[in-house]
């Protein structure tokens, strides 16, 4: 009998997936959600299901939980075949769906009671179990509050507490951290660490945030229903050793990024603060000579690889399409109205109340022409409300706002003519073709005749939509939907572009592609305002504000905001560290220059 | 059912009750909507013709003409307006100011005195065919009464060789409200049973709570029972409120017994809940659930149950279709219990039909329910 295996069996994985396949039928079409996934999750460990939106993460979670009928393959949870005996699996499972599965019109205590009844927790054990869960989640002083009135982070923790009233053997968490503020995210990870280390629970965690991979014991990287990689996060980054660098040069960072992205042997180049992060196809010494002709003073400094580097490398290996065209003239609107330089957007003491609730509280900032300006914050921080007021869709309760020289209180219509808006959700007509959407949105912006035709032709070439012009918008891949949405927002050559959570959930290549166009637009003088809850996306901005509970907690350049959070223990803070630092000290808003 | 199942059911029932109690829209559908519908139908909508505006055209007033027209002034059915010319009356009818014209030509008095044939012109606006027929009947009745009275006054027997003696049973006042209100109660219970139930389950799908429930140890029977029981109670409560309004506010007769009413209502409620559960099995959002519930339960109950439109005068095919509308059986039972009493030959077969329908719908709802999302 081998030591450490008291039952005499070989240590059995908590979860085993064998060639799991699943398809959905939508009308006549068959969509493959999962295309042969084979993997295992070890007991007592955190396994991350990582991939962009539409990769198949939720489908896999639901298959494991016995909520969907498997098409082919086999899933075993704790040795039980899910397809044959879903009830036995469900008795040992805890599952938190994407919206936490809470009853918003029940209080915290009533939600706990319900799940305790459903999971068969004896009455005598509840007092101690509740006390433990409430202490762990920090909800002890909110037991009488309705779940609907909790913040996003608190809902997430209550959802988790409800799945834990009866400690499950396997805990499934479907995107618990998306849209939740970074502080709550960190707290959630502390809870998960506690559960696996102390209670030896097995956790399967899905996320679209690639930086969370490094917190998992093991990672399944999923893309378009296929397993792109499976292993410890260290294995993923180890493959990339010696290939990532920070590049600095006297050339402007956007220009440098665009040139580096085209340079031979470079598979990835993204702006990070004032520098450009470069990943090369092979491990090479940090020799910069000859990489970019325009930047003779280019310096490369080695930096540790990230999980995302390995994802990008794998995607590049899959991607057989030719590299994007030279980006010098990319996305430049043919004509740009001449505007005096200076502040294109100026808002002062902007406040918006809904009844007694203050959604936006005394917010002031200015945005200069050609700037990329970010509004960074969790769901419910007031970003979207600020956006709606800037677009003239919602009148402010107090304060002034000027957009493109117009006071939105008195001249919302002319201001709107200068604005392009790309909504967070796909807001085009799904039943129309690509060409029909372009035609409709261009006529909505009153383009006619030759000019309309010219703009549609521009959009089709610029966004590489020509080949798909007759495709129905609904059926486009996520990245193409986004291109089409951006093209529609740019039909009337706006001076100002509003992007609401533009790249949430798209894969890293599509995100880079998107930002390549946005950078080119900014270079051409278009002012870009972007909201995001992706900390990483904030790095692309020239300046940004961090918002929480309707207030601006910090404002300035990404580098300055990060610098302000620098401590001895953390000499090189990330944007998330900086965010947590300002949220933690909301008393003194750090107005970095 | 073991103790774990009982505890789960108890937990779900308590959750559902708290939600109903805190959600004003559920209570509104169960209690406020019935009251509003009853008040509208009780006071506003009536199929009787009362105070119908008609034009009286008397071209040459005389003693005999005023004795005829006074019959109209005294009738509760008419509100006569006098006109001197037929043209004026026709203009009023075209403007919808009057719905009928009774025209005594200038030679009416002379020909009546002479004992000859004295024609009276009656013109009825046919826009509302139902009212038109009622006016026609009433005018003839007024005319017959007047002739009889005149014949008696003249000392002779009746001028008419035969007379009809109408006798109305079960609704002696021939008040349409008395048969509309029982039918209305069936509509109200359809709303609570099918619409409300389908909506609340669709809401659980929309908010993702159903997904979370499905992964607990709860069995599908427990989920269904936990929806069935509270909305059964709510529907019966709404029913009791409606009966109270009908009896105490409108003075509806309740000829039958309370327990027959309660038992048959319970059967109908189960059938309606079965429909609601069945709909919620495939409608995963509130909009679709609402649409399907209205089209498949409320509208058929309204149109095909015999509540407003008589089933016997429907085309044959439509009459066959009415047999799958549960409300059809319940409306007959309600009308019988309210207006006629416990007529077993009516109640038993219809109650049996309700039982069968309840069993079919609940069985289908159970058969199609899966503890899965696909």
pLDDT, tens digit, 9 for 90 and up, residues B205-241: 888 899 999 988 888 899 999 999 999 999 898 889 8
List own/partner pairs for A185-193 with CB under 8 A and 24 or more apart: A185/A153, A186/A580, A187/A138, A187/A153, A187/A157, A188/A156, A188/A157, A188/A160, A189/A215, A191/A136, A191/A137, A191/A157, A191/A160, A192/A46, A193/A46
Find all residues with CB under 8 Å of A266, minimum gap 6, and list them: A260, A278, A279, A280, A281, A291
What is the rounded CA–CA span in Å between residue A449 and residue A277? 44
Give the pLDDT of residue B171. Answer: 58
Q: Which of A450, A446, A449, A427 is nearest to A437 (CA)?
A: A427
Kindly report the number of other CB atoms within 10 A of residue A441's CB atom. 24
**Best mutation site among A118, A124, A204 for testing chain B: the one with the most B CBs within 10 Å?**
A118
* A474 has pLDDT over 70: yes
Q: How confident is the model at residue A532 (pLDDT cuts 50, 70, 90)?
A: confident
CA distances from residue A199 to A45, A115, A125 in whole angstroms, order as listed: 11, 20, 17
Give the pLDDT of residue A587. Answer: 40
Give the pLDDT of residue A378. Answer: 80
pLDDT above 70 covers a percentage of chain B that reads: 91
Spell out which residues of chain B touch residue A97, defining contact as CB-CB under 8 Å: 208, 211-212
Q: Of A176-180, A498-502, B154-158, where does mean pLDDT reach its minimum?
A: B154-158
Counting DSSP H helices and E strands in chain B, the numbers are 17, 4
Q: Is A376 helix (H, G, I), strand (E, B) or coil?
A: strand
Give the pLDDT of residue A591. Answer: 42
Q: Is A472 helix (H, G, I), strand (E, B) or coil?
A: strand
What is the rounded CA–CA span in Å between residue A269 and residue A284? 16
Q: Of A219-223, A350-354, A507-511, B257-261, where does mean pLDDT reach its minimum?
A: A507-511
Give the pLDDT of residue A66. Answer: 92
pTM (predicted TM-score): 0.80
Kindly report the number of other CB atoms within 10 A of residue B332's CB atom. 23
Give the pLDDT of residue A482. Answer: 86
Kindly report the number of other CB atoms within 10 A of residue A125's CB atom. 12
Instruction: Tell me B371's DSSP state.
Output: S
A83 in reach of chain B (CB within 8 A): no
Give the pLDDT of residue B292. Answer: 93
Q: Nearest C-alpha of chain A: how many angstroms from B217?
A: 5
Q: Where do the DSSP E strands lie in A379-486? A: 398-403, 406-407, 419-422
Average pLDDT over residues A277-301: 84
> What is the crossing angle of helices B197-206 and B220-244, to 10°?
140
Interface residue ranges in chain B relative to chain A, Cβ cutoff 8 Å: 4, 7-8, 10-12, 14-15, 18-19, 22-23, 207-209, 211-219, 371-374
Give the pLDDT of residue A527. Answer: 93
Give the pLDDT of residue B167. Answer: 60
Give the pLDDT of residue A98. Answer: 86
Average pLDDT over residues B94-100: 85
Asked if the Cβ–Cβ distance from A114 to B217 is below 8 Å, we say no
- Residue A52, classified by CB atoms within 10 Å of its CB into exposed (0-12), middle (13-18) or buried (19+), is buried
- Residue B87, classified by CB atoms within 10 Å of its CB into exposed (0-12), middle (13-18) or buried (19+), is exposed
* Nearest-CB residue to B208 (from A94, A99, A163): A99
Asked if the Cβ–Cβ distance from B22 to A105 is below 8 Å, we say yes
Q: Domain extents for chain A? A: 15-232, 239-318, 367-384+425-591
Give the pLDDT of residue B359. Answer: 96
Architecture of domain B52-153: 3-Layer(aba) Sandwich (3.40)
Number of residues that this document lists for chain A? 593
Asked if the Cβ–Cβ distance from B15 to A103 is below 8 Å, we say yes
Q: Which of A281, A284, A276, A249 is nearest to A264 (CA)?
A: A281
What is the rounded CA–CA span in Å between residue A111 and residue A101? 10
What is the rounded CA–CA span in Å between residue B301 and residue B291? 15
Give the pLDDT of residue A282. Answer: 85
Average pLDDT score, chain A: 85
Asked if the Cβ–Cβ distance from B4 to A103 is below 8 Å, we say no
Contact yes or no for B82/B53 (Cβ under 8 A): no
Find all residues with CB under 8 Å of A135, minimum gap 6, and list them: none
Contact yes or no for A183/A171 (Cβ under 8 A): no
Q: Nearest C-alpha of chain A: how many angstroms from B5?
A: 8
Instruction: Tell me A255's DSSP state.
Output: H
**Best mutation site among A65, A103, A173 for testing chain B: the one with the most B CBs within 10 Å?**
A103
What is the rounded CA–CA span in Å between residue A558 and residue A582? 13
Q: Is A385 helix (H, G, I), strand (E, B) or coil?
A: helix
Give the pLDDT of residue B1. Answer: 58
* Angle at alpha carbon of residue A298, lines to A294 and A301, rounded to 5°: 155
Q: How confident is the model at residue A265 (pLDDT cuts 50, 70, 90)?
A: confident
Find all residues with CB under 8 Å of B69, minimum gap 6, and list them: B56, B58, B80, B82, B102, B104
Reported ipTM: the value is 0.77
DSSP codes of every residue in B111-143: HHHTTS----EEEE--SSHHHHHHHHHHHHHHH
* A334 has pLDDT over 70: no
What is the rounded CA–CA span in Å between residue B333 and residue B186? 10
Q: How confident is the model at residue B174 (pLDDT cuts 50, 70, 90)?
A: low
Instruction: For residue range A210-242, list pLDDT tens digits in order.
Output: 888 889 999 999 998 999 999 999 999 998 988
Token couple for A91: 């008795």
A113 in reach of chain B (CB within 8 A): yes
Output the CA torsion sign for A474, A478, A484, A490.
positive
* A201 has pLDDT over 60: yes
Give the pLDDT of residue A426. Answer: 74
CATH 3.40.1440.10 describes domain A367-384+425-591? no
Contact yes or no for A103/A138 (Cβ under 8 A): no
Q: Where do the DSSP E strands lie in A15-160? A: 15-26, 29-41, 46-50, 72-77, 80-81, 93-96
Q: For residue B218, give the chain A residue with the closest CA.
A: A118
* B185 has pLDDT over 90: no
List own/partner pairs for A124-132 with CB under 8 A and 24 or more apart: A126/A165, A129/A165, A130/A165
Contact yes or no for B57/B103 (Cβ under 8 A): yes
Kindly report the number of other CB atoms within 10 A of residue B143's CB atom. 15
Helices (H), A171-245: 182-197, 233-238
Instruction: For residue range B349-364, list pLDDT tens digits in order.
Output: 999 999 999 999 999 9
If one compares B157 and B80, the residue with the highest pLDDT of the two is B80
What is the rounded CA–CA span in Å between residue A304 and residue A246? 10
What is the rounded CA–CA span in Å between residue A561 and residue A544? 9
* Nearest-CB residue to A69 (from B10, B208, B374): B374
Side-chain-facing half-sphere of B281: CA atoms under 13 Å: 19
Domains A15-232 and A367-384+425-591 share a fold: yes
* A586 has pLDDT over 60: no
Q: Is A540 helix (H, G, I), strand (E, B) or coil?
A: helix
Give the pLDDT of residue B165. Answer: 61
* Nearest-CB residue to B212 (from A68, A95, A116): A95
Give the pLDDT of residue A341. Answer: 59
Contact yes or no for A368/A476 (Cβ under 8 A): no
A65 in reach of chain B (CB within 8 A): yes
Spell out which residues of chain B touch residue A106, defining contact as CB-CB under 8 Å: 15, 18-19
Token couple for B231: 């909305």
Instruction: For residue range A117-155, list pLDDT tens digits in order.
Output: 998 899 999 999 999 999 988 899 899 999 988 888 889
pLDDT above 70 covers a percentage of chain A that reads: 93
Asked if the Cβ–Cβ distance from A106 to B18 is below 8 Å, we say yes
- Residue A25, classified by CB atoms within 10 Å of its CB into exposed (0-12), middle (13-18) or buried (19+), is exposed
Q: Which of B138, B182, B154, B191 is nearest to B67 (CA)?
A: B154
What is the rounded CA–CA span in Å between residue A248 and residue A300? 7
Asked if the Cβ–Cβ distance from A117 to B209 is below 8 Å, we say no
* A81 has pLDDT over 70: yes
Give the pLDDT of residue B159. Answer: 53
A96 in reach of chain B (CB within 8 A): yes
Q: How confident is the model at residue B295 (pLDDT cuts 50, 70, 90)?
A: very high
Give the pLDDT of residue A335. Answer: 43
If one compares B41 and B99, the residue with the highest pLDDT of the two is B99
**Best mutation site among B212, B214, B222 for testing chain A: the one with the most A CBs within 10 Å?**
B212
* A324 has pLDDT over 90: no
If one compares B268 and B107, the residue with the highest pLDDT of the two is B268
Q: Nearest C-alpha of chain A: how many angstroms from B219?
A: 8
Q: Nearest C-alpha of chain A: how many angstroms from B16?
A: 10
What is the rounded CA–CA span in Å between residue A440 and residue A459? 13
Architecture of domain A15-232: 3-Layer(aba) Sandwich (3.40)
Q: Which of A533, A593, A541, A537 is nearest to A563 (CA)?
A: A593
Output the CA torsion sign for A582, A583, A587, A593.
positive
* B347 has pLDDT over 50: yes
Asked if the Cβ–Cβ distance from B216 to A65 is below 8 Å, we say no
Q: Of A288-292, A435-439, B183-187, B231-235, where does mean pLDDT reach its minimum?
A: A288-292
Give the pLDDT of residue B169. Answer: 60
Average pLDDT score, chain B: 84
| 178-207 in chain A: CB under 8 A from chain B | none
How do A551-556 and A398-403 pair as beta strands? Answer: unpaired
- Residue A160, classified by CB atoms within 10 Å of its CB into exposed (0-12), middle (13-18) or buried (19+), is buried
- Report the DSSP beta bridge partners of residue B122: B102
Give the pLDDT of residue A1. Answer: 39
Most confident of A355-359, A425-429, B144-148: A355-359
Instruction: Tell me A433's DSSP state.
Output: B
Output the CA torsion sign for A49, A52, A55, A61.
positive
Q: Domain extents for chain B? A: 3-45+175-368, 52-153
């Amino acid at each position: 009998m081998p030591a450490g295996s008291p039952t005499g069996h070989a240590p059995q994985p908590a979860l085993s997936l064998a060639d799991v396949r699943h398809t959905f039928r939508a009308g006549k079409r068959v969509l493959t959600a999962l295309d042969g996934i084979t993997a295992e999750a070890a007991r007592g460990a955190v396994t991350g299901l990582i991939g962009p939106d539409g990769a198949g993460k939720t489908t896999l979670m639901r298959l494991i939980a016995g909520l969907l009928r498997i098409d082919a393959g086999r899933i075993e949870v704790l040795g039980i075949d899910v397809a044959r005996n879903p009830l036995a699996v469900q008795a040992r499972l805890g599952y938190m769906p994407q919206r936490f599965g809470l009853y918003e019109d029940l209080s915290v205590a009533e939600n706990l009671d319900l799940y305790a009844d459903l999971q068969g927790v004896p009455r005598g054990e509840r007092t101690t179990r509740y006390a433990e869960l409430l202490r762990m989640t920090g909800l002890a002083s909110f037991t009488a509050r309705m779940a609907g009135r909790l913040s996003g982070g608190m809902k997430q923790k209550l959802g988790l507490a409800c799945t834990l009233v009866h400690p499950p053997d396997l805990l499934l968490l479907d995107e618990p951290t998306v849209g939740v503020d970074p502080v709550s995210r960190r707290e959630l990870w502390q809870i998960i660490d506690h559960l696996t280390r102390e209670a030896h629970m097995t956790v399967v965690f899905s996320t679209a945030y690639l930086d969370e991979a490094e917190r998992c014991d093991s990672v399944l990287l999923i893309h378009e229903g296929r397993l792109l990689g499976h292993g410890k996060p260290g294995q993923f980054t180890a493959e990339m050793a010696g290939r990532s660098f920070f590049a600095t040069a006297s050339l402007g960072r956007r220009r440098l990024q665009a040139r580096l992205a085209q340079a031979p042997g470079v598979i990835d180049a993204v702006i990070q603060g004032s520098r450009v992060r470069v990943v090369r196809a092979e491990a090479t010494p940090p020799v910069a000579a000859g990489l970019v002709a325009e930047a003779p003073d280019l310096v490369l400094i080695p930096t540790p690889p990230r999980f995302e580097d390995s994802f990008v490398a794998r995607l590049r290996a899959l991607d057989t399409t030719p590299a994007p065209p030279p980006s010098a003239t990319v996305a430049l609107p043919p004509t740009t109205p001449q505007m005096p330089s200076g502040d294109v957007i100026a808002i002062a003491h902007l406040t918006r109340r809904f009844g007694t609730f203050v959604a936006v509280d005394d917010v002031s900032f200015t945005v200069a022409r050609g700037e990329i300006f970010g509004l960074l914050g969790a769901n419910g921080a007031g970003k979207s409300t600020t956006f709606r007021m800037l677009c003239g869709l919602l009148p402010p309760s107090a304060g002034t706002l000027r957009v493109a020289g117009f006071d939105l209180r008195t001249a919302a219509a002319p201001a709107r003519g200068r604005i392009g808006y790309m909504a967070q959700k796909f807001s085009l007509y799904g039943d129309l073709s690509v060409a029909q959407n372009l035609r409709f949105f261009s006529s909505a912006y009153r383009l006619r005749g030759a000019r309309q035709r010219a703009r549609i032709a521009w959009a089709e070439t610029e966004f590489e939509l020509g080949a798909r012009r007759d495709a129905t918008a609904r059926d486009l891949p996520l990245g193409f939907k986004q291109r089409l949405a951006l093209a529609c927002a740019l039909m009337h050559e706006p001076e100002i572009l509003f992007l609401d959570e533009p790249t949430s959930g798209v894969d890293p290549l599509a995100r880079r592609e998107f930002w390549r166009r946005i950078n080119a637009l900014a270079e051409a003088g278009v002012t870009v305002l972007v909201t995001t809850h992706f900390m990483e996306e904030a790095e692309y901005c020239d300046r940004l504000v961090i918002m929480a509970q309707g207030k601006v907690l910090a404002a300035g350049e990404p580098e300055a905001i990060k610098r302000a959070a620098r401590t001895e223990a953390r000499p090189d803070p990330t944007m998330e560290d900086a965010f947590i630092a300002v949220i933690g000290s909301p008393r003194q808003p750090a107005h970095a220059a | 059912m073991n103790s774990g199942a009982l505890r789960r059911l108890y937990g779900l029932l308590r959750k559902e009750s708290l939600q109903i109690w805190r959600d004003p829209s559920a209570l509104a559908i169960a209690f406020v909507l019935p009251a509003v519908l009853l008040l509208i139908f009780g006071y506003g909508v009536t199929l009787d013709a009362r105070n119908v505006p008609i034009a009286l055209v008397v071209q040459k007033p005389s003693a005999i003409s005023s004795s005829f027209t006074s019959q109209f002034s005294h009738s509760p059915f008419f509100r006569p307006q006098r006109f001197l010319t037929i043209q004026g009356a026709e203009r009023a009818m075209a403007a919808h100011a009057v719905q009928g014209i009774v025209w005594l030509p200038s030679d009416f008095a002379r020909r009546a005195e002479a004992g000859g044939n004295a024609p009276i012109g009656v013109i009825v606006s046919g826009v509302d065919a139902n009212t038109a027929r009622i006016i026609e009947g009433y005018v003839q009745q007024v005319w017959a009464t007047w002739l009889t009275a005149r014949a008696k006054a003249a000392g002779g027997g009746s001028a008419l060789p035969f007379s009809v003696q109408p006798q109305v049973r079960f609704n002696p006042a021939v008040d349409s409200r008395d048969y509309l209100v029982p039918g209305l109660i069936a509509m109200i219970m359809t709303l609570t049973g099918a619409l409300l139930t389908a909506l609340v389950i669709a809401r659980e799908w929309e908010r993702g709570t159903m997904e979370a429930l499905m992964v607990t140890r709860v069995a599908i029977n427990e989920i269904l029972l936990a929806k069935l029981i509270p909305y059964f109670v709510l529907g019966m409560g709404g029913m009791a409120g409606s009966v109270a309004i009908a009896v105490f506010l409108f003075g509806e007769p309740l000829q039958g017994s309370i327990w027959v009413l309660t038992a048959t209502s319970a059967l109908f409620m189960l059938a309606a809940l079965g429909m609601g559960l069945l709909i919620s099995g495939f409608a995963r959002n509130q909009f679709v659930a609402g649409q399907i519930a209205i089209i498949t339960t409320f509208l058929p109950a309204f149109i095909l149950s015999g509540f407003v439109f008589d089933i016997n005068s429907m085309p044959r095919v439509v009459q066959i279709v009415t047999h799958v509308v549960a409300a059809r059986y319940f409306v007959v039972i309600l009308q019988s219990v309210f207006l006629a009493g416990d007529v077993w030959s009516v109640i038993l077969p219809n109650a049996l039909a309700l039982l069968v329908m309840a069993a079919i719908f609940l069985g289908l709802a159970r058969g199609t329910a899966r503890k899965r999302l696909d």
